[in-house]
A = this chain, B = another copy of it.
Amino acid sequence: MAETAEIAIDRISMVYTLPDSEVDALNDVSLDIGKGEIMSVLGPSGCGKTTLLNIIAGFLSPTRGEVRVAGKPVKGPGAERGMVFQQGALFEWLSVTQNISFGPRMCGKDRAETADTVQRLLGIVGLVDFADKPVYQLSGGMQQRVALARCLANDPDVILMDEPLGALDALTREKMQGLVLRLWKDTGKTILLITHSVEEALFLGERLIVMAPRPGRIEKEFRLPFADEALEKPARDVKAGSEFVAAREEILSMIWDMEEEIMGDNG
């Protein structure tokens, strides 16, 4: 099967077997993500977002179906698929530089070259002055910038992000969104980003997937102009645009209804 999709998710299902029951975390999910695309995933808690990401990353193998990245079936984790987690995935015993250079060092890359890469990435994420600090001395926002840089240091083709900005306060978060967008534009990576924030999903997705739970599935897909827009005009203008506000409204009510239906009023 010839395909152009960088990530081809081919009818995967995931069933977690519990002692007394089974959870349909994903049910017959198919999705293609093109090379250089940035896609955001939205959905209520427990709809299988993390499960999906873990399958693409190769940490879980699906009960049925398969995922192909650059045409090759995923069998396990690999350096060509970088990950950025919510928080706490940095190596707190290492400095900023050591964290960023972790991938190249593990893969046995040339030292001088690695040092250059690290220097360049420190510049990109604006942490040149903090190169030798231990990461635990950094604020939450800075830590996530280190996580981004660490992921980029290996120059992966695909970047998978699981609520990367979820633990940041509102202002820092907005700034970080700009950084992600800039990186996407500059590097042309394929990015898949999970978020709980509707605004973030709208802003950072060329495409947006809304998932629904029980069984976990893709409920709706949108194609959005905002990420591209934001490359030209200020983020705040994009977010204040009437189109953005309207899209936000639509998705919010969709999720709201979805939640209501599932849980009643006890969220």
Docked-complex contact B240 and A169, CB < 8 angstroms: no
Q: Is the interface of A mostly helix, strand, loop or mixed?
A: helix
Q: Which residues of B contact A44 (CB under 8 A)?
A: 171
Minimum CB–CB distance from A131 to chain B (whole Å) comes to 13
Known contacts A236-B249, A249-B240; A267 and B175 CB within 8 A of each other = yes
Give, as a whole number of angstroms, the nearest-CB distance from A195 to chain B.
9
Q: Report yes or no: A171 in contact with B266, Cβ–Cβ below 8 A.
A: no
CB <8 Å contact, B170 and A196: yes
- B253 & A236 in contact (Cβ 8 Å cutoff): yes
Please state the number of chain copies in the assembly: 2
Assess A170 versus B141: contact at CB under 8 Å? Given A240-B245, A253-B236, A266-B126.
no
Q: What is the minimal beta-carbon distance from A211 to any residue of chain B, in angstroms?
A: 14
Which B residue sits closest to A44, measured CB to CB? Answer: B171
In the complex, the answer to whether A267 meets B126 with C-beta atoms within 8 Å is no
Q: Check A16 for interface membership: any CB of B closer than 8 A.
A: no
CA gap between A259 and B139 in the complex, in Å:
14
Query: Is A202 part of the binding interface, using a Cβ–Cβ cutoff of 8 Å?
Result: no
**A252 near B266 (CB under 8 angstroms)?**
no
Q: How far is the CA of A198 from the CA of B108 in the complex (A)?
A: 47
Cβ A45 vs Cβ B169 within 8 A: yes
Given contacts A170-B196, A196-B169, contact A139 B240 (CB under 8 A): no
Are A139 and B171 CB-contacts (below 8 A) given A240-B245, A246-B240, A252-B236? no
User: Is A86 at the interface (CB under 8 A from chain B)?
Assistant: no
Instruction: Answer whether residue A265 sits at the interface, using C-beta atoms and an 8 A cutoff.
Output: yes
